[in-house]
Amino acid sequence: MALSEHLLLLERQLQQAEVRADRQALEALLADEFLEFGASGGRWDKAQVLADLPQQAFIERHISAFAVQCLGPDLAQATYLCHNAAAGERPASSAWRSSLWRHREGRWQMLFHQATPRPNP
């Protein structure tokens, strides 16, 4: 499997309800040094994600414009547009997203993630 296909699979896993609710799955996908700057302006480390994400209401998401750039033998950057479905009174939205993935001990883990809201057209 090509690296871009593999990282797309991992990004999609992180958007699945069952993975987001599974602490062990999240532990495996996120590096210990993980840091996220969210579309809401918040900042989260791995411990906060493990504590908070399983309790969050699930929002269906879709990825488009996915691209991967190799930054080194064990480091890659994934960029894409994430489309969030409308939920309740929350309208549909989208954000540009960027993730740094590091290969260590035989597996890829997300090291950093950032989301930047995209204005609705």
- Could you say which DSSP state residue 87 is in? B
In this prediction, residue 63 carries a pLDDT of 97
User: What average pLDDT does the segment 75-104 reach?
Assistant: 93
Cβ atoms of 41 and 23 closer than 8 Å: no
Q: Where are the domains of the chain?
A: 3-118
pTM, whole model, 2 decimals?
0.93
What is the C-alpha to C-alpha distance for residues 37 and 27, in angstroms, rounded to an integer?
Answer: 18
Dihedral angle computed from the Cα positions of residues 33, 21, 115 and 91, in that order, rounded to the nearest 10 degrees: -170
In this prediction, residue 55 carries a pLDDT of 86
CB atoms within 10 A of CB 118: 15
- Amino acid identity, residue 11? E
Tell whether the model's pLDDT for residue 117 goes beyond 90. yes
Class of domain 3-118: alpha beta
